[in-house]
């Protein structure tokens, strides 16, 4: 019996009033796949149940009677999210409608109550009895208990309950725990390992540990797939990532399949997006590297061809070409292309290159596609700048400390030369402005003189 998620609160309120305050012990509900709150009635005692059937002479056989207590308690557990349950979407055309299997949860709770009674009075040492009748009686009771435990362990809610019941009632060394309960314990350990692996994968992809609790909760739900979202700003640039997970078709294991990054900045005011697949044991694109790629920069990665042969290459997005999945095509610049980052960087008078550790950090940062700050030593003076790898042109891109693109020759000029050029530009600008003003003033004085000449000519013609 499936109940729509939006009907849970209203049905719970009705059940609470009937069970808690109205002393109802039976729920009359129309039998069927879907639960309808309108087809619901509460009865107090057998007399009320008989009256109900008398009032429904034609459709009474369509109803089933349920325990009001089990019905109410099941709704409370679902409302407070104390039970793991699977959301069901029966109608593919209406994915917004989510249902929960209320009937299965009620069956499990009734089975738990039955097992409590059976296991409480069971003779766990029947195998030591000399009375054959007592032995057969004890064996039959144990077989029925194991059968009910097996039924209970089929659901996400019932599995841990079945183990708890066994540990609660069965004395040590009296009976061997059934294999289906042992397999549940193994599955629990496996799920914990799966969770730990996914948490590390997410962390190493650049999303930190803030999604650890979300991952745990999603794995408990056992949905076929789920998505987590992550928002992060890099300076004035904003990114939103969606992390996609999918359950294996052959086991309970989940896999982190891909992450999609959406970027919005001055370069892309209308947002751009790119999906990056996650491959276990390979050099995956991280959040920061994905941001760098969407910003137009290049990233150096370890790649693998169809034959499984590994190679290293720079990759860069081609914003003019889009593939079938809606992603930008990537361009690769292999080592044989001829771009030598270490050589290009080594030709610059960077202050930190003398320190091997700082040089290593600088190279790794550029390989990840970062725009890296450096200090240049020019004619004994220090100058701040930013550089980034440009493998397509076998060079670097250069920026000043204000983020403005510059030529290398400008960066390598001495501060005195820069100041001199700046003053020269200001003087040229001032002279140009002064000349312009003088020209405008001169042009402004001409029209009156022409008018005077014209009037003089008219006067001369008049005298004639």
Residue boundaries of the structural domains of the chain: 2-155, 189-337, 341-413, 414-464
Question: Rounded to an integer, what distance in angstroms lies between the CA atom of residue 205 and that of residue 213?
Answer: 17
Question: Rounded to an integer, what distance in angstroms lies between the CA atom of residue 154 and that of residue 164?
Answer: 15
Sign of CA dihedral 92, 97, 103, 108: positive
If DSSP codes are grouped into helix, strand and coil, which group holds residue 282?
coil
Tokens of 421: 């050029």
Contact present, 138 and 129 (Cβ < 8 Å)? yes
Question: What is the pLDDT, as a whole number, of residue 126?
Answer: 85
Residue whose tokens read 């309108």: 38
Burial pattern 408-425, b for ≥16 Cβ within 10 A else e, equals eeebbbeeeeeeeeeeee
pTM over 0.75: no
Question: What is the pLDDT, as a whole number, of residue 185?
Answer: 54
Residue 298: count other Cβ atoms within 10 Å of its Cβ. Answer: 24
Q: What is the pLDDT along the chain (464 residues), one digit of tens a residue?
A: 788 778 888 888 888 888 877 778 888 888 777 777 788 888 888 888 888 888 888 887 888 888 888 888 888 877 777 665 556 665 555 566 777 777 777 888 888 888 999 999 888 888 888 888 888 898 899 999 999 898 888 777 788 888 889 888 988 778 888 877 866 555 556 578 889 999 999 999 999 999 998 998 888 888 899 999 999 999 889 999 999 999 888 777 899 999 999 998 887 788 899 999 998 777 899 999 999 999 999 999 999 888 878 899 999 999 999 999 899 999 999 989 999 999 999 999 998 888 899 999 999 999 999 999 999 988 888 889 999 999 999 999 999 888 889 888 887 876 566 566 666 666 666 666 666 666 666 655 555 544 444 444 444 444 44
**342 Cβ contact partners less than 8 Å away, ≥ 6 residues apart:** 363
To 10 degrees, what angle do helices 158-169 and 132-152 make? 150
Tokens of 13: 């309120």
């Amino acid at each position: 019996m499936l109940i729509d998620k939006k009907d849970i609160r209203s049905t719970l309120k009705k059940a609470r009033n009937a069970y808690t305050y109205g002393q109802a012990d039976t729920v009359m509900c129309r039998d069927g796949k879907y639960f309808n709150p309108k087809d619901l009635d509460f009865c107090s005692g057998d007399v009320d149940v008989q009256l109900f059937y008398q009032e429904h002479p034609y459709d009474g056989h369509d109803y089933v009677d349920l325990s009001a207590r089990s019905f109410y308690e099941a709704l409370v557990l679902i409302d407070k999210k104390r039970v793991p349950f699977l959301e069901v979407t029966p109608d593919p055309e209406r994915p917004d409608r989510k249902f929960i299997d209320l009937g299965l949860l009620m069956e499990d709770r009734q089975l738990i109550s039955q097992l409590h009674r059976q296991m409480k009075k069971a003779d766990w040492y029947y195998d030591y009895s000399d009375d054959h009748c007592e032995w057969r009686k004890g064996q039959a009771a144990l077989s029925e208990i194991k059968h009910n435990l097996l039924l209970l362990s089929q659901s996400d809610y019932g599995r841990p309950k079945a183990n708890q019941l066994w540990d609660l009632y069965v004395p040590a060394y009296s009976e061997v725990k059934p294999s289906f309960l042992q397999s549940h314990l193994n599955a629990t350990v496996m799920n914990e390992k799966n969770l730990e692996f996914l948490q590390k994968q997410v962390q190493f992809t650049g999303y930190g540990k803030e999604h650890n609790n979300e991952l745990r909760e999603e794995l408990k739900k056992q949905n076929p797939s789920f998505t987590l979202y992550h928002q992060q700003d890099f300076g004035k640039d904003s990114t939103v990532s969606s992390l996609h997970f999918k359950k294996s078709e052959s086991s309970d294991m989940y896999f982190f399949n891909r992450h999609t990054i959406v970027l919005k900045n001055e370069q892309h005011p209308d947002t751009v997006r790119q999906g990056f697949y996650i491959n276990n044991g390979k050099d995956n694109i991280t959040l920061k590297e994905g941001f760098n790629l969407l910003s137009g920069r290049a990233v150096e990665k370890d790649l693998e061809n169809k034959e499984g042969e590994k190679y290293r290459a720079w990759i860069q997005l081609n914003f003019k070409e889009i593939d079938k999945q809606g992603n930008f095509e990537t361009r690769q610049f292999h080592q044989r292309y001829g771009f030598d980052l270490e050589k290009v960087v080594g030709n610059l008078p960077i202050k930190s290159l003398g320190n091997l550790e700082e040089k290593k950090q600088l190279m790794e940062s550029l390989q990840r596609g970062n725009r890296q700050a450096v200090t240049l030593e020019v004619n004994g003076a220090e100058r701040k700048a930013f550089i980034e790898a440009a493998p397509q042109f076998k060079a670097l891109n250069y920026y000043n400390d204000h983020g403005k693109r510059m030529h290398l020759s400008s960066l390598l000029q001495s501060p005195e030369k820069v100041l001199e050029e700046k003053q020269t530009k200001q003087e040229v600008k001032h002279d140009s402005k002064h000349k312009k003003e003088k020209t405008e003033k001169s042009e402004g004085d001409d029209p009156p003189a022409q008018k005077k000449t014209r009037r003089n000519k008219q006067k001369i013609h008049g005298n004639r």
